[in-house]
Structure formats: structure tokens, C-alpha cells
Structure 1
Amino acid sequence: MIPRRPGRAALIMLGIVALLYLLELIDQLFFQTGVMSRRVTGLDTNGIQPRELDGLDGIAWSPFLHLGFGHLVMNTVPLLVLGWLCMAGGVRQFVAVTLVVLLVGGLGTWLTGQDGTTHLGASGIAFGWLLFLLVRGFFNRSAGQILVAVVLFLYWGGMLWGVLPGGQPNVSWQAHLFGVLGGVLAAWLVRRGDRTHTARYARGDDQPGRLGS
């Protein structure tokens, strides 16, 4: 339900968020930032630009970029709390889940985003982490994880309105929607991996000193 080493998990998340603030500070000090359009400048030009090959690498960079400190501040608490909770399965699982959310959310945004826009921000990752945490308990049939999911839904369930088109101007609902789908896929993949590992262990494939035929 919570990380086995909560202190280490907290330090990792604080380090990740600190990096985001450092990048935004560099952008503010040395580059001009703009609004969500083709006219963005500085580091923000590395965001996702739908259906443009030059914007495809933005899938990797966009979660690290924000349209000013106000944008980043709004994402800070969800990133810290949801990221920390996602480390309950260990750092390796956290990285795997994040990569699935990043790829699904980024590719979905690149394919469906409006022409002439640049999509930035870590909110798509936060949406993916939230859905991962909401559905993993049902996949795992874990009462404790379902309880955590209920608490998270009561507190942050309103975030899910952000997946609807046109809910807020200059907000990438595509990143939110496909981040959500990435979170569900990640939860399913984690559960499938756990079942495979359990089955292999039951057969003795993972027991020390035993070789599979």
C-alpha cells in the first residue's frame, strides 16, 4: 500500500520535482517562455508537437517542461503524493509504470492533439499514476490497495474531469486522457507480470539452484 522504504521513496520524488523546478528556473532565466502554440520559445519548444516528426521526441521531454512556475506548482503536490504511492511496488516497478504512462500518453497526444499546438507538463504522468493506483487493487484483489484507491478517488477524483475535451482552455486533455489509459495498461501489465512470476515460482523455475529444461 505504501513504499517499503518510505524515506527513500520520498527523497526520490523530491529529487524528481526539484529537477523540474531547476529546469523551469533555467528556462525562466535564460529563455523566453510562451503560451501553448507554435510561438513557444526556449526549452518549451521541445514539447510534443502533434503529427510533426520534429515534435515526436517531445514525448520524452514534455513531462519535464512547464509553462511557468504557476503551471508547475499546480502539478507539484499530485506528483509528490501519487509518485510516492506508486513506489509501493519498488523503484523498478515505479520506473516501468512511468515509462508505460509516458509512452501511451505521449503517443496518444502526438496522434490526436490539435494542429499547431505544443503540449507540455507532467500532468499526464500524474493522471496515469492516479489511475494506476485506482485500478491496481481491483486487478490484484487487494483490500488494502482498494482502500487507498477509495481515499485517492474521494480526494483527487475531480481531476478526472480533465480528460474531457474543452474543459479548460490551453489545457492538454489529450495528455490527460491517454495518461489515464497508460495508467490502466500499466496496472494490467504489472498484474500480468506478477501472475507470471507466481506461476514460475510454483513450478520451481525461480528457485535457486534449479535449471529449467
Structure 2
Amino acid sequence: MVSGHFKQDLFAQFARVGKALSNGNRLELLEFLAQGERSVESLAKVAGLSVANTSQHLQQLRQSGLVNSRKQGLKVYYRLSGDDVIGLLDALRAVAGRHLAEVEHMVTSYLTVKDSLEPIPREELLRRAREGLVTVIDVRPPEEYASGHVTGAVNVPLAELESHLGEFAAGQEIVAYCRGPHCVLAFDAVARLREKGLQARRLEDGYPEWKMAGLPVEKPETTK
């Protein structure tokens, strides 16, 4: 209801989005949905939450306009309401990283120790991939890869990495990516590859950011 105080009422609507983002579990669910549409049950499993709790979080995200849902049979599927939600998550990460010492400490002590090298920028990876200079691997689970991936990337889930080592061309650099800039899967993949004597780097962020930037992707409807 509009009270007659336009500015206050407008900011109150903005605050609905802020309230939806004020829970770590909901932020993680948004990151999973940034990879592609998923059912409530699938999200609950990957997030380590109960189905009931996951459903409650998703309803709050839907009420704030951040996600949409559809029903198919007995299952309910959720997806981001737009790619601008990915931009919102990126902005939140960036601001927290710049202004919260705790975030910097956590990233440094848990992620940077695994890979302190500068990640490769998106445009540079695109150029090098087109020139055949790198092998791009997507270390996310198969269902996320199937929902969409960087064009030309090969799905090598982290748990299966060792079994694929013989497939990489000798001397060619490998670039790994996963869900986003703080996704531990890519950090772990790069660390393991280097332990095996292979050249490896990370993409600067993940598939959602690559897609949002308008760079080439393969999706279910276009993947042969």
C-alpha cells in the first residue's frame, strides 16, 4: 500500500530484495540457480538442506521477484527471474570483498592458498580457446554442465578429474571454471592438475558471468 510518502515507499520495496538476500542459504540457492533451472528436490540435495526448508527459502526469493517457478507433474522447478540477478550477486560479492575484512581473510586463507596465480580474464580465454591454445574444462556436476556451458568446454567433474588426466594434450594449458569467482571446485581442480605437473589456470569467475557477458555458450536447445 502506498502511504503518500513516495520515497519511503519506494525504498521499502527495495528493502524487500535486501531482506531476501539477507540469508546465506538463499544466496547459495541463487548461485545454484545461476547455473540453470532446478527442482526443489535437486536444490535441497546440492545445498544440504531439507526439502521443506529449501522450499521456504525459494518462496521468499520468489516473493521478492528474484526467481520464478513452474510446476511439472508433482515437481516444482525454479529459475532466476533474469540475468540481472547474477549481476546483483556479483555486486554483492565485490562490495563485501572490498569492505569486509572477514571476507578477504576467508578468501585468502581458504582459496588463495590453493591458487595464488592471477586467473585468466574472460576475453583472453575466448581468444586463446579460438586459437586452440588452451583446453577448457567445466568442473561442475554433469547436470549443471548440461543446463549450459562455455562453448567448447569439456565436462570434467572434480571427482572424476584424475581419470581424465591422460586425455589432456601434453604441454597445453588447461583452464578450469565452475560456478563463480569463489567456487572451490575450480581452485581444487587447478591445484590437483599442477600437482600432476600440468599447466593449469582458473577462469576469473564462472559460467553465469561468462553467459551474462554475452560470450559464446552452449545450451540444451543448441547443443547437438
Q: Which has the higher contact order (CA 8 A, sep 6+)?
A: 1
TM-score bin, normalised by smaller chain? under 0.3
Give the helix-richer structure, 1 or 2: 1
Give the strand-richer structure, 1 or 2: 2
TM, length-normalised to structure 2 = 0.24
TM, length-normalised to structure 1 = 0.24
